[in-house]
């Protein structure tokens, strides 16, 4: 059985997301369907740290936009006064 010691808040940016820290007597599998499945083993104190920030930085990123916001929008730009 595992107990959660630290978990991320409900809403986070990927750059400041906290790791998941568990207390466990045995290995724990962490998976995100179709992206990742890893097995983590406890240290000498029984703690397991799952580095979420490293996962997000390595696997989840938005491609850069090549659209021009003034010429490729679905609605005309709002005039400034």
pLDDT tens per residue, range 56-78 = 777 666 666 555 555 555 555 56
Q: What is the pLDDT of residue 79?
A: 65
Query: Does residue 44 belong to any structural domain of this protein?
Result: yes
Query: Does residue 77 belong to any structural domain of this protein?
Result: no
pLDDT at 24 over 80: yes
7 forms beta bridges with none
Cα–Cα distances (Å) from 39 to 27, 29, 54, 61, in that order, read 6, 4, 15, 24
Number of domains in the chain: 1
pTM of this structure: 0.60
Mean pLDDT of the chain: 77
Residue 43, CB-side half-sphere exposure with 13 Å CA sphere: 7
Query: Does residue 42 belong to any structural domain of this protein?
Result: yes
Query: Does residue 81 belong to any structural domain of this protein?
Result: no
Query: Does residue 79 belong to any structural domain of this protein?
Result: no
Query: Does residue 66 belong to any structural domain of this protein?
Result: no
- Give residue 28's domain range: 2-59
């Amino acid at each position: 059985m595992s107990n959660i010691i630290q978990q991320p808040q409900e809403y986070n940016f990927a750059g400041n997301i906290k790791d998941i820290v568990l207390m466990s007597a045995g290995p724990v599998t962490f998976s995100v369907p179709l992206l990742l499945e890893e097995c983590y083993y406890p240290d000498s104190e029984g703690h397991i740290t799952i580095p979420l920030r490293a996962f997000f930085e390595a696997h989840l990123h938005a491609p850069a936009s090549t659209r021009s916001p003034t010429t490729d929008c679905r609605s005309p730009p709002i005039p400034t006064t």
